[in-house]
Structure 1
Amino acid sequence: MEERGGSSRAHWAWRLLGPAVAVLFVAYFLLPARVLGPERPVLSWTVLIVVLTGIAVLLLKHMRDALFDRRGTVVALVSLMCLSVLVFSSAYFVISHDPGEFRGLRTRLDAFYFTLLTLATLSYGDIQPRGQSARLLILLQILYTLVFLTAAATSLTGKLRRTAASRPPRGRPHR
């Protein structure tokens, strides 16, 4: 009986994942970015570091929870990983308003595209970082990805593997 309740809670958490990620993407495209930028560099960098630190702390907490097979960790890890990507995308978009930083990065979609290219370590043929702030931000994203997103992805796949291994095979009666 308890397993059935836990299973329904797990299904409920999975049902939240799509809407949670959708809300993050909608917020990314709708929230104003003009509050930060080249006119306020200290505030911009401070906000970025504080937000990334907060996400990193939450990622570490949920990675630990995943090791102990606590509920809700899959949804939390996926959401935080998506949020990390969107924070870097926002930072690229904001920094692109400084004319000397990027060539070819004009829209939020460009920034998201560039973030995913950097995450996947692909070439930047159409978008090129020119300024020191852009290059610093790219280095920060690469380091953040190597340390936090790789560890989160590893925790996530381990949790999913353990969950799949603990389920009875399909088609056989549950004992």
Structure 2
Amino acid sequence: MGSGRKPFTPRTPLWRWLVQTAGATLMVVAYFLLPLDGLGPQRPALSWTFFVLALALIAALLLQQIVHVLLNHPHARPGLVIPLLMCLAILVFATAYQALARHPGEMIGLSTRLDALYFTLVTLATIGYGDITPHGQAARLVAILQILYTFIFLTAAATALSHQLRTVFLHRGTDRRRHKSGT
């Protein structure tokens, strides 16, 4: 009883880490396994609608989490939600690149879902090796949208997340000092 260990509950860091890992793993597995052949040049209206709505929904949810951090909302879980939403945004862009690659001349060097995910992450990290390039106008538009989306939403979300983590660590440090001093 006196071991000082917290019980394993949904509020413990290990529980949150397991949920995040399981959620991200599930999303990546779904990305690789879901039949997404209905997206692409044969259904451009459906593809663009799905792409825009998915990104708008993710942006709205990210903004909600950012507001929760800024207003110090007591029941918010940005440390759990923001990384999962960021992962989902990356997978939406990878799906868009994969769909574009099925149209000849849009994406040069991209032929698999792993290529699409790789290109998305290389673009996100602003590395740009040049082995996969957006040649078509639609592919270049998606690349521009990814860069803007990253600057606006993913950067703001990452900043809010780091602010939240800093606040939590400072709060825990203050609590520990009070506990040690007996006040």
RMSD: 2.1
Number of the residue aligned with 1:99: 104
Normalising by structure 1, report the TM-score: 0.90
Choose from 60, 64, 87 the match for 2:63: 60
Choose from 1, 14, 18 the match for 1:15: 18
What is the alpha-carbon distance in structure 1 between the residues aligned to residue 59 and residue 130 of structure 2? 30
Q: CA deviation at 1:168?
A: 2.8
Whether 1:155 and 2:160 are equivalent positions in the alignment is yes
Alignment of 1:1-175 (within 5 A): 9-11=11-13, 12-67=15-70, 68-70=72-74, 71-168=76-173, 174=179, 175=182
Q: Which has the larger radius of gyration?
A: 2
Q: CA deviation at 1:46?
A: 0.9
CA distance change for structure 1 residues 33 and 8 in 2, over 3 Å: closer, same or farther?
A: closer
- Aligned letter for 1:37? G
Normalising by structure 2, report the TM-score: 0.86
What is the alpha-carbon distance in structure 2 between the residues aligned to residue 56 and residue 126 of structure 1? 29
What is the alpha-carbon distance in structure 2 between the residues aligned to residue 35 and residue 63 of structure 1? 34
What is the alpha-carbon distance in structure 1 between the residues aligned to residue 114 and residue 10 of structure 2? 36
What is the alpha-carbon distance in structure 2 between the residues aligned to residue 99 and residue 41 of structure 1? 14
**Structure 2: which 5+ runs fail to align?**
1-5
Structure 1 stretches of 4+ moved >4 Å: 169-173
What is the alpha-carbon distance in structure 2 between the residues aligned to residue 81 and residue 142 of structure 1? 14
CA distance change for structure 1 residues 57 and 171 in 2, over 3 Å: closer, same or farther?
A: closer
* Deviation string, structure 1 residues 17-64 (Cα, Å, up to 9, x no partner): 110111111111111111110011111111100110000000011111
What is the alpha-carbon distance in structure 2 between the residues aligned to residue 63 and residue 10 of structure 1? 22
- State the SS of the aligned residue for 2:148: helix
**Structure 1: which 5+ runs fail to align?**
none
Number of the residue aligned with 2:3: none
- Aligned letter for 1:53? A
* Deviation string, structure 1 residues 39-92 (Cα, Å, up to 9, x no partner): 111111111001100000000111111221544211100000010001000110
